[in-house]
Structure 1
Amino acid sequence: MNFDPLNILLLAVALVVFWRLRSVLGTRTGTEKPPFDPFGAKRTESPVRQDGRDNVVRLPQGAPASGADSDQEPAPPVWQGYAEAGSPLALGLEQVAENDPSFSPRSFLEGAKVAYEMIIDGFAKGDKASLKNLLSKEVLDGFAQAIDAREAQGQRVESRFVGIDKATLHAATLMGSKAAVTVEFVSELISATYDRSDKVIDGDPKQIREVTDVWTFERDITSRNPNWKLVSTQAPD
């Protein structure tokens, strides 16, 4: 076999180059550290819980059956601060709360005040859509007829709600699954009704009026819907 001196020389050079590269770079063993990541270096791993149960939320435990905590005074009656003991209102509030654990006079009144303002505003604007979820069908029909009659005569109402001075519980009853609560609202608002020629025919656009309304709200306590609806309006006594 003939050997070309040039080929032998090139092979020798290649072997020398390979040996030097191997000595400088070394060989991969699979245990090398990954390349440094300047962003990843700032991340910290989530701490491991001591009990080994990661992402477990501990809920408060119930009060013990005996001991100091069991000597706590019982909760005040639901009607306290809203009715006289033994009155029909107090008995009604107790009955509603016993059958609907989510009910409390305080939260009910807060919601009723919001609903009152929304209904007053919706009626003034003729916004039937916003009234639909706040009124019973019978009350909605009455409001809608009044809005339609007003529009047919070319009248419009401008109203600005100033605030509620007082909201007082008047009655509470439970008939079957229907809970009903009556509230007297004393509010202040500015309201004026204009005719086709923009002449004021009722109210005063510059004067604050005090208005008293007695409204009854109703809710089926067996329903998953928490909303109360206005079922009747009446003049104050």
Structure 2
Amino acid sequence: MTAIVILALVALFIGLRLYAVLGERTGHEQPILKPADPDARVEARPAVAPAQTSSQLDPAGMAYLPLAGPGVCAILAADSNFDVAGFLEGAKSAYRLVMESFWKGDLDTIRPHVDGHILDTFEAAVEQRTADGLTLDNRLVAIEQAVITEASLTKSVAEVSVRFEADIAAVTRNADGAVVAGSMSDAVQTRDRWAFRRDLSSRDPNWLLIETDEEE
């Protein structure tokens, strides 16, 4: 399991600005298949957050697990601009951006949005890959699910954890371009949990990705 602290939400000026979201991941050289979770997500009930509307739910009508309910409710009460559905959409966009940037070794794109020691981890991995003469030819096929698993508010600081379930086609090539691992014809299911933080008293709408873990 790799825990990584990173990503100040993706506020891009290159085509897409990810406003109230987070996202980021360390990135494995090859994703690991994970079993499906029959209890993956639970319907968000209006009783958990009285001010919640359908616009705060993802298309499946499920946005967060029951244990995250009180934290989500506290954040909604403290920040009228916080929108659950918008947050999750931004998180998914950030997830894609970070993954693809890491695979390409283009860390400048995410540098402003990631925590220092996370960036160091990314850079070390890219440098090692380069030294070994390897390149990643990975493709994010689809993000199947994104659900808030934990949420909390301490004074004005909000923290939200999101679990991503995604299908990734992963290939590692050597210096000659030959495939040494993986296959582009088979997508592998991955499951990652990313945690984000934001000071709600700040004018900066960006979230910082503070941790990522690969789930079993």
1:82 — aligned with what? 63
Is 1:222 paired with 2:209?
A: no
1:153 — aligned with what? 132
Report SS of the residue matched to 1:122: helix
User: Between Structure 1 and Structure 2, whose CA radius of gyration is higher?
Assistant: 1
Moved over 3 A (4+): 75-84
2:147 — aligned with what? 168
* Alignment: residue pair count: 161
What CA deviation, in whole Å up to 9, does each residue of 1:130-160 have, x standing for no partner? 1113322222221121111111211111122
| Structure with higher strand content | 2
Q: Give ranges in structure 1 of 5+ residues lacking alignment.
A: 1-74
1:137 — aligned with what? 116
Mapped partners of 2:199, 2:181: distance in 1: 38
Please, which of 53, 57, 70 is the counterpart of residue 91 of structure 1? 70
Report SS of the residue matched to 1:222: coil
1:190 — aligned with what? 169
2:156 — aligned with what? 177
- With the length of structure 1 as denominator, give the TM-score of the two structures: 0.62
CA 162–99 in structure 1, closer or farther in 2 if over 3 Å, else same: same
Mapped partners of 1:83, 1:155: distance in 2: 38
Report SS of the residue matched to 1:133: helix
CA 134–163 in structure 1, closer or farther in 2 if over 3 Å, else same: farther
CA 83–122 in structure 1, closer or farther in 2 if over 3 Å, else same: closer
Aligned-pair identity (%): 31
Mapped partners of 1:137, 1:223: distance in 2: 20
Please, which of 102, 105, 117 is the counterpart of residue 96 of structure 2? 117
Mapped partners of 2:92, 2:71: distance in 1: 20
Report SS of the residue matched to 2:189: strand
Would the aligned equivalents of 1:165 and 1:186 in 2 still touch at CA under 8 Å?
Answer: yes
Q: Give ranges in structure 2 of 5+ residues lacking alignment.
A: 1-48
CA 175–147 in structure 1, closer or farther in 2 if over 3 Å, else same: farther
Name which structure has the greater RCO, CA cutoff 8 Å, separation 6+.
2
Would the aligned equivalents of 1:96 and 1:174 in 2 still touch at CA under 8 Å?
Answer: yes
What CA deviation, in whole Å up to 9, does each residue of 1:23-52 have, x standing for no partner? xxxxxxxxxxxxxxxxxxxxxxxxxxxxxx
| Structure with higher helix content | 1
Q: Please tell me the residue identity of whatever aligns with 2:63.
A: Y
Would the aligned equivalents of 2:134 and 2:175 in 1 still touch at CA under 8 Å?
Answer: yes
Mapped partners of 2:190, 2:64: distance in 1: 23
